[in-house]
Chains A and B, each alone.
Chain A
Amino acid sequence: METFVFLVGAAVILAGALGVVLSASATRAALSLIGTLFGIAVLFVAQEAHFLAAVQVIVYAGAIVVLFLFVLMLLGVDTTEDLSIEPITAQRPAAIVAGLAFFGMVMLALSAGADSVTGMPGAFDPVAGTVPDIVALGRSIFTTHVFALEATALLLTIAVVGAVVLVRKAETIDPDDDISPQLQDASTEDGEEA
């Protein structure tokens, strides 16, 4: 049964990933991303990480992809990229060679046996055991990793404040001119370049 779940999940994940990389329209890429994120959530369930699967669907497939789509709609949905243009000569073959080289190295490490990666033999059973995984996970987060948890709370606050500051309209000097002095300097320089 797990073999079937794994194969279906892997197919969905890889198809979604290829869709993200190969589709010319950014909207299609975002929708393919949902497929990949759902596939990952399915494999989390297959490995008894039920809480993480739920969080994956809610946070990733829900919030993050919706945020992507929101920005896409905000910036104009018709921005398709002509994939036949290669701006830097031989960049794509080089990128593919680098990717295959990376993959080969990981495969080399894995072919020595998964034990060699972690240094410990594994039983490969679900981690939960007698207690449900959410109990074990909650204990781990709120005892061992409690400092990291507080730090992430701070990080989220900083991220929200930072996003507000970044997208805030610059304060105007002249009501007709929407550009602050610093931005104006930058844009005149651009004009000289062009």
Chain B
Amino acid sequence: MVVTGTWYLVLSAMLFTIGGVGLLVRRNPLVMFMCIELMLNAVNLSFVTFARMLGDVDGQAVVFFVLVVAAAEVVVGLAIIVAIMRRRPRATADDLALLKG
């Protein structure tokens, strides 16, 4: 058995699906954030696989930028969650309906 690029892509699709379903199902904002990280990592894995399949290092450069953006996103997202939780302890994603008309 030889590992081909398709194996990595299938694994990446499975990971992305698990992350996406988790994002839809879970209500704790922190866990929803972790599911977003899972989806980002699935995409990173497929980028590295494509970089290898096409022999082009630019795919790895994209992963580098995804890492930076993910770090910035986590910082701002967690700050928002902390700000919300200060006012409403134990809030879930369903409780945040302030903008509902």
Contacts and interface: CB of A to CB of B under 8 A. Distances in A.
B94 to A, nearest CB: 5
Q: Is the interface of A mostly helix, strand, loop or mixed?
A: helix
Interface residues of B, number: 76
B52 A36 contact: no
Interface string B21-38: 110111110110111011
Q: Chain B at the A interface: mostly helix, strand, loop or mixed?
A: helix
Interface string B45-82: 10011111111111111011101111111111011111
Nearest to A179: B87
Interface residues of A, number: 90
B24 A95 contact: yes
Contacts of A102: 16-17, 20
Interface of A: 2-3, 6, 10, 13-14, 17-18, 20-21, 26, 29-30, 33, 36-37, 40, 43-44, 46-49, 51-52, 55-56, 59-60, 63-64, 67-68, 71-72, 74-76, 79, 81, 87-88, 91-92, 95-96, 98-100, 102-103, 106-107, 110, 113-114, 117-118, 120, 122-127, 129, 133, 136-137, 139-141, 144-145, 148-149, 152, 155-156, 158-160, 162-163, 166-167, 183, 186-187, 190
B38 A127 contact: no
Contacts of A99: 17-18, 20-21, 24
A30 B51 CA distance: 29
A103 B92 CA distance: 28
Given A49-B48, A52-B60, A110-B13, A95 B76 contact: no
A129 to B, nearest CB: 8
